[in-house]
Amino acid sequence: MTRRFVVSAIMLLLMGLLMAPDRLTAAPYDTIQVSNPFLNKTPIALPAFKALTGSPAESQIGAEALETLENGLAFTGFLKQVNPAAFLADPSNTGIQMSQINFSDWTGIGAELLITGGVEEKDGRVKLALRLFDTFNHQLLKGKVYTGPPDQVRRMIHLFCAEVSHALTGKWGVFASKLTFVSTVDGNKEIFVSDFDGHNPTRFTRHKSISLSPAWSSDGQWLAYVSYAGGKPDIYIRHLEQKRGSVIKRDGMNITPAWMPGQDTLAAALSFSGNQEIYLLTRQGEMIKKITSSWGINVSPQFSPDGGKLAFVSNRSGTPQIYIKDLSSGEVDRVTFQGRYNTSPAWSPDGKKIAYVGIEKNRIDIYMVQLDKGPGMPVQLTRNQGDNEDPAWSPDGNLIVFTSTRDGRGGAVFVMTAAGTDQRRLMNMPGRQTQPRWSEPMTYKE
Amino acid sequence: MNKKLGLHVLMAILVAGLFLTASCAKKTVVSDATAIEDQTQASAEAAAAEAARKAEQERIRQQELQAEADKKAAMEQARAQAAQTRFLHQHIHFEFDSAQLTDTARTLLREKAAWLKANTGHSIVIEGHCDERGTTEYNLALGERRAGAVKQYLQDLGIGSFRMTTVSYGEERPLDPGQNEAAYSKNRRAQFVLK
């Protein structure tokens, strides 16, 4: 009796120790209440998928699906995969359902989350059963079954990644987004569109010219970009699937288009007046109004997520710096004060931060300023690894995609967390890639 | 009698001699006429040869003149070509993140203006370029200001603005792909293209 009590007490104590730090359970699951989730990632276990009828085809599909899941979850930015060598259990043998899982097998190795998967393949159709568990609370957080042809397994996994992200943070993540970027093709620059992670790149333009600065409309249906197809930089506005669109080709240059969130309205820098100013335009290219009135350079407008403000670059102070204009009050504030060259503002989806490019001592790097805490010291996100440009946020605000020359190729797309951690190359394409931008998440047609 | 015979013989000889002489004389006349014909032909041939020689001389002279003219024209053309080449390849350079014309730039632009004044048939495109440091979009804007500064200065020097258009290529068309200051300073430029 006494002995049993002691054992129980020790067990409780151990569990308490295991559960106390870094726990998800303290807060409801719609948000992760951690100050810097990227430095304090939640450990997740991703064991092998179960072949539900035991066929080799299922094992093969399951192995590929698991790899897709591992790569996909890296795009949440806040999950850390537990080394499979530490696993004490094998759900692909013992079962993937809640009742078949011994949660202490997982809490014992520090895994706070667990995803199990099962694959069934029949008559050319694949069924994927996926479950996300909270191992400490013995709780099924999300269970989904997807069915489709084998070539849709990647998409099924990404749908589930979005569910995981939503279950843990309340945000769908980057998984239903698309990526656009510029890539060199035969010495020209063309616009491409791919999956969020750079997979399945498809060429969008065939101008055989210089095409630059692709920008998504909020609904992901339109791309505005700059092209020299007409011999000088003009703005092309094109529907992604239909043959619709227009061209803004006023005298001088027409560059740096940006869409107003939720609107068919663009901001862009035009120089027909003899000076480079930022204007609001309709999707058809008709003038709505002039935003800036300052001699010199005014370029790279970026709307705040609520559409009420516009960040842009101006050299009105003598050097290029980032400013914000309140579109209703007309008030202009300077945002960057450190250094003599700060450009390419990118507004975080929560509206509180701006990532940008700064040049310090001939090094081009990505920095970030916090807007809601007054003028503060910028945080440097890239350092000592080539030139780094073109920052753009993931729709959930967890990731920043950017261009880096660090691998010596003169430009490739990289991704990092919004804290600057986990910097890695996104895709492997011939040529040079620049100016990546994620779209808002699009609803999958299942 | 002997004397008479002797006279007869002499007479006979004389007559024969006369005959002989007469026939000889006739023969000489004929032969003289032929000589004159030959002489005429010879002189005609000589005249022809002389004419031909003169013509040849003239032809050579003309050819030499032509060659001289050609050479002159070629030199002129080469000079014009060199001037045009210089116009098109002597670029206007800028400091980092600047669209201000340096003293060297102004000197070069006065030369360009002179060329434009001497070659009124030409219209030009002024391209503004940047080095790869700095960002794509800002460099598009900076390149346009460089081209604009050059156009304005040429306009101030009396070149009609209708002959000049500008286009910025930002950092998209470097002359030197190198990643060092030598390459960067080459790439920060305004350059001229004939329309």
Q: How many CB atoms lie within 10 A of CB B116?
A: 22
**Which has more confidence, A22 or A97?**
A97
B137 contact residues in A (CB cutoff 8 A): 212-213, 255-256, 299-300, 313, 343-344
Name the pLDDT band for A442 (thresholds 50, 70, 90): confident
Q: Does B169 sit within 8 Å of A276, measured CB to CB? A: no
Name the pLDDT band for B11 (thresholds 50, 70, 90): low
pLDDT, tens digit, 9 for 90 and up, residues B77-112: 899 899 999 999 999 999 999 999 999 999 999 999
Strand segments (E) across B29-107: 92-93
Same-domain status, B76 and B121: no
Same-domain status, B134 and B173: yes
Q: What is the mean pLDDT of residues A87-97?
A: 94
In Å, how far is A38's CA from the nearest CA of chain B?
A: 28
Same-domain status, B71 and B154: no
pLDDT at A17 over 90: no
How many CA atoms lie less than 13 Å away from A38 in the CB half-sphere?
Answer: 17
- B141: nearest CA partner in chain A: A297
Long-range pairs for A354-358: beta carbons < 8 A, 24 or more residues apart: A354/A311, A354/A322, A355/A381, A355/A391, A355/A393, A355/A400, A355/A418, A356/A322, A356/A391, A357/A388, A357/A389, A357/A390, A357/A391, A357/B135
Same-domain status, B98 and B181: yes
Give residue A136's pLDDT: 96
Give residue A375's pLDDT: 66
Give residue A102's pLDDT: 95
Name the pLDDT band for B39 (thresholds 50, 70, 90): confident
Same-domain status, B94 and B165: yes
Name the pLDDT band for A30 (thresholds 50, 70, 90): very low
What tokens were used for A266? 């663009």
Question: In sequence order, which residues have a C-beta less than 8 Å from that of residue B124 and are 6 or more positions away?
Answer: B116, B163, B164, B165, B192, B193, B194, B195
pLDDT at A21 over 50: no
CB of A35 within 8 Å of a chain B CB? The answer is no
Same-domain status, B188 and B98: yes
CB of A404 within 8 Å of a chain B CB? The answer is no
Give residue A6's pLDDT: 47
Distances (CA, A) of A357 to A226, A336, A381, B18, B107: 20, 11, 10, 134, 36
CATH class of A178-438: mainly beta
Same-domain status, B103 and B180: yes
Q: How far apart are the first and last CA of chain A?
A: 57
Question: Of all residues in chain B, what percent carry a pLDDT higher than 70?
Answer: 81
Same-domain status, B97 and B133: yes
Same-domain status, B102 and B57: no
Q: Where in chain A is the domain with CATH 3.40.50.10070?
A: 8-169
Name the pLDDT band for A305 (thresholds 50, 70, 90): very high
Q: What is the mean pLDDT of residues A166-189?
A: 94
Among B82, B103, B126, identify where a domain stops.
B82
Q: Among A276, A300, A364, whose Cβ lies nearest the Cβ of B133?
A: A364
How many structural domains are present in chain B?
2
Tell me which residues of chain B, numbers 75 to 134, contact chain A at a CB-CB cutoff of 8 Å. Answer: 97, 132-134
Q: Residue B143 belongs to what domain range? A: 90-194
CB of A232 within 8 Å of a chain B CB? The answer is yes
Q: How far apart are the first and last CA of chain B?
A: 126
pLDDT at B188 over 70: yes
Tell me which residues of chain B, numbers 158 to 177, contact chain A at a CB-CB cutoff of 8 Å. Answer: 166-169, 172
Name the pLDDT band for A410 (thresholds 50, 70, 90): confident
Give residue A441's pLDDT: 83
Same-domain status, B107 and B78: no
Q: Per CATH, is A8-169 categorized as 3.30.70.1290?
A: no
pLDDT at A445 over 50: no
The CATH code of the domain that includes B145 is 3.30.1330.60
Give residue B114's pLDDT: 96
Distances (CA, A) of A347 to A133, A309, A317, B118, B186: 34, 10, 22, 53, 35
What tokens were used for B131? 């080095």
- Helix, strand, or coil here: A43? strand
C-alpha–C-alpha distance, residues B78 and B67, integer Å: 15
Same-domain status, B98 and B173: yes
pLDDT at B29 over 90: no
Same-domain status, B20 and B45: yes
Give residue A15's pLDDT: 45
Q: Which residues pair with A257 in a beta bridge?
A: none
Q: What is the mean pLDDT of residues A332-359?
A: 96
Q: Where in chain A is the domain with CATH 2.120.10.30?
A: 178-438
Interface pTM (ipTM) of the complex? 0.86
Q: What is the mean pLDDT of residues A272-282?
A: 96
pLDDT, tens digit, 9 for 90 and up, residues B127-170: 999 999 999 999 999 999 999 999 999 999 999 999 999 999 99
Give residue B118's pLDDT: 95
A210 contact residues in B (CB cutoff 8 A): 169, 172
CB of A371 within 8 Å of a chain B CB? The answer is no
pLDDT, tens digit, 9 for 90 and up, residues A192-224: 999 999 999 999 999 999 999 999 999 999 999
Q: Does A210 sit within 8 Å of B135, measured CB to CB? A: no
CB of B137 within 8 Å of a chain A CB? The answer is yes
Q: Does A434 sit within 8 Å of B138, measured CB to CB? A: no
Give residue A444's pLDDT: 44
- A314: nearest CA partner in chain B: B138
pLDDT at B17 over 90: no
Give residue A185's pLDDT: 95
Among B82, B114, B140, identify where a domain stops.
B82
